[in-house]
């Protein structure tokens, strides 16, 4: 059985541990800087195992050395968004946490595939790539799966159908500029535009873009965690079981879709080595313009990141 480490035992990290355990994907190490938190949650999960029928080991610790030998590391550590806060407002704090964590991954888990969940996701993925020096395919961001599953749910809700029958693809950065591809969205094999009128589909697209903010506005003091954790766990399953699933994910682009030196959400095949292939879809002019806009938002974030390096803040 493989080993999966989760950095951050907050709501997202702990919930991801639960989903991973439920699927019996591997033994799990949960790391957090707050003493007692990962240990207590680890024990609580283990006490549930006879009822939930998982047989993995779950170990909570404050020591990053315990990630040694991990096949996959999920990075969820950092502060969460608050009402009115843009994802880029998080960059300075979370980039520092990513920087120190990346160095620990290099030291203790040099063969791991790294799945990042922390926001601003596409820029934090860049920090992890730079600081680890890993092959680009071993650093992958979770957002596309999350954005797509929200899109799928909203369509299923509108039609009153089982959400699992909906297939969707969302490209671009993890933020308000994401690009849901309605042409590649279907329900039970039927194109979504055959089932819903354009105005309704457009409204669902906008609701998808605001899905995370809607949760934050209700919570006031936190952000979404059930759906992000489930999305990360789905990616881990594809990696550790070498399922080679075709999923949207934030990956490093080197010429694909006409972009260089940024992480952006695109369809990929995800297997045991990480990103095995990036698929380039034929986009309409309108879709490419929307993706360009999304890429520009990510590039602006990378420029801010570069300034932090230049000013020796990182």
- The domain limits of the chain are 3-143, 144-305
22-64 confidence digits (pLDDT tens) = 999 999 999 999 999 999 999 999 999 999 999 999 999 999 9
Cα angle, residue 16 at apex, residues 150 and 291 outer, rounded to 5°: 35
> What is each CA distance from 248 to 98, 167, 215, 244, in whole angstroms?
22, 12, 22, 12
Q: Which residues are catalytic?
A: 174
222-264 confidence digits (pLDDT tens) = 789 999 999 999 999 999 999 999 999 999 999 999 999 999 9
CB atoms within 10 A of CB 225: 20
Between these two residues, 91 and 68, which has the higher pLDDT value? 68
> What is each CA distance from 152 to 109, 160, 184, 192, 195, in whole angstroms?
35, 12, 12, 11, 14
The whole-angstrom separation of Cα 63 and Cα 61 is 5
Q: What is the pTM of this model?
A: 0.94
pLDDT number for residue 87: 57
Residue 80, pLDDT above cutoff 80: no
pLDDT number for residue 81: 66
* Options 3.40.50.300, 3.40.50.1820, 3.40.50.720, 1.10.3720.10; CATH of 3-143: 3.40.50.720
Cβ-based burial of 140 (10 A; exposed 0-12, middle 13-18, buried ≥19): buried
Give me the CATH code for the 144-305 domain, please.
3.90.110.10
pLDDT number for residue 88: 63
**Of 5-9, 174-178, 301-305, which gets the smallest average pLDDT?**
174-178
Q: Report residue 100 as tokens.
A: 């120190």
């Amino acid at each position: 059985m493989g080993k999966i480490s989760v950095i951050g035992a907050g709501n997202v990290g702990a919930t991801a541990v639960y989903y991973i355990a439920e699927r019996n994907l591997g033994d799990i190490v949960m790391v957090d800087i707050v003493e007692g938190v990962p240990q207590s949650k680890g024990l609580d999960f283990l006490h549930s195992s006879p009822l939930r029928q998982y047989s993995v080991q779950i170990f909570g610790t404050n020591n990053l050395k315990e990630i040694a030998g991990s096949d996959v590391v999920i990075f969820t550590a950092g502060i969460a968004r608050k009402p009115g806060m843009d994802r880029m407002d998080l960059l300075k704090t979370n980039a520092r946490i990513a920087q120190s964590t990346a160095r620990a991954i290099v030291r203790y888990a040099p063969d791991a595939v790294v799945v990042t969940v922390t926001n601003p996701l596409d820029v934090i993925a860049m920090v992890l790539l730079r600081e680890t020096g890993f092959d680009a395919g071993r650093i992958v961001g979770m957002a596309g799966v999350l954005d797509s599953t929200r899109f799928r749910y909203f369509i299923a809700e509108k039609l009153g159908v089982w959400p699992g029958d909906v297939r969707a693809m969302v490209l671009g950065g993890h933020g308000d500029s994401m690009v849901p591809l309605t042409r590649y969205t279907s329900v039970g094999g039927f194109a979504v535009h055959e089932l819903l009128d354009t105005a309704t589909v457009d409204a669902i697209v906008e609701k998808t873009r605001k899905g995370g903010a809607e949760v934050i506005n209700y919570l006031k003091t936190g952000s979404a965690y059930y759906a992000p954790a489930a999305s990360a766990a789905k990616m881990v399953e594809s990696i550790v079981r070498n399922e080679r699933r075709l999923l949207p994910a934030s990956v490093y682009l080197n010429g694909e879709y006409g972009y260089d030196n940024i992480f952006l959400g695109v369809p990929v095949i995800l297997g045991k080595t990480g990103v095995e292939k990036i698929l380039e879809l034929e986009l309409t002019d309108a879709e490419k313009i929307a993706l360009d806009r999304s890429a520009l938002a990510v590039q602006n974030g990378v420029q801010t990141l570069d300034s932090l390096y230049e000013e020796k803040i990182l």
